[in-house]
Amino acid sequence: MPPVSLRRAARAGRPRLETALLRRSVDDSVAARHRCAHCRRTPLTGEIVHLYGAPGGEERLVCDLCRPQRREPPLGTRPMPSPMHERSVKVSRRAA
């Protein structure tokens, strides 16, 4: 009996529209990620990252592994926030 590829079997049964939408959503989520300016790696949540200035006033993120490649000191250093950090609800207390 010949071997059966599960990947090929799953692909054959999936409609083209579904595949296109899935690929588009994955591409959008990858584009929205923060990446290291040197190695293009996505830092893990809680990993220390360094912020450097870039032309145009933008900030460039450099991971802790690539930090020794830069000669100038960083503008700031912070732990990498969770991807859900920007979407979270923050509780604020009102002064009485």
- Residue 7 has a pLDDT of 57
User: Helices then strands (H, E): number in the chain?
Assistant: 2, 3
Flag whether 50 is in a domain: yes
- Residue 69 has a pLDDT of 92
- Residues with Cβ within 8 Å of 81's Cβ and at least 6 positions away in sequence, in order, are 45
Give the domain extent around 39: 34-81
pTM above 0.75, yes or no: no
Q: What CATH number is associated with residue 46? A: 3.30.60
Flag whether 48 is in a domain: yes
Flag whether 64 is in a domain: yes
- Residue 81 has a pLDDT of 81
- Residue 42 has a pLDDT of 87
Per-10-residue mean pLDDT, the chain, length 96:
54 75 72 79 90 85 92 91 65 65
Query: For the chain, how many structural domains are there in total?
Result: 1
